[in-house]
């Protein structure tokens, strides 16, 4: 009976030691997880700042295009008109 109690106590002590190790490991994981979370938040903040900066640049470029002196339709019309005039001149000089 005494031997069985000793074996049970040893088993309980081993289990307690293992549980203590598991608890310390979990605590380390939680601490490392918080550090990782902070790093991820910092990176996401940096990415968000870059996105905002790029969005502002795109808006600026769109505003410049919309406020430009010549609209794309006007430029296309001028190109077609120039080609038409050039074609008529070439045709007229051949005759």
Q: What is the dihedral of CA 67, 70, 71, 72, to 10 degrees?
A: -130
- Residue 87's region, left for phi above 0, alpha for psi from -120 to 50, else beta, is alpha
pLDDT for the residue numbered 1: 60
User: Does any domain span residue 91?
Assistant: no
Q: What is the extent of the structural domain holding 27?
A: 2-68
Tens digits of residue pLDDT in 38-95: 888 888 898 989 999 999 898 888 887 777 677 778 889 999 999 999 999 998 887 6
User: Does any domain span residue 46?
Assistant: yes
User: Does any domain span residue 29?
Assistant: yes
User: Does any domain span residue 94?
Assistant: no
Q: What is the dihedral of CA 54, 58, 64, 66, to 10 degrees?
A: -160
User: Does any domain span residue 93?
Assistant: no
Number of domains making up the chain: 1
User: Does any domain span residue 79?
Assistant: no
pTM of this structure: 0.45
Residue 7: is its pLDDT beyond 80? no
Tens digits of residue pLDDT in 27-49: 887 787 777 778 888 888 989 89
């Amino acid at each position: 009976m005494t031997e069985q109690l000793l074996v049970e106590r040893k088993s309980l002590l081993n289990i307690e030691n293992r549980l203590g190790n598991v608890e310390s490991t979990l605590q380390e994981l939680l601490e490392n997880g918080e550090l990782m979370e902070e790093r991820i938040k910092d990176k996401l903040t940096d990415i968000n700042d870059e996105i905002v900066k790029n969005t502002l640049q795109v808006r600026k470029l769109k505003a410049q295009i919309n406020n430009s002196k010549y609209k794309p339709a006007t430029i296309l019309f001028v190109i077609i008109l120039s080609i038409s005039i050039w074609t008529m001149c070439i045709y007229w000089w051949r005759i």
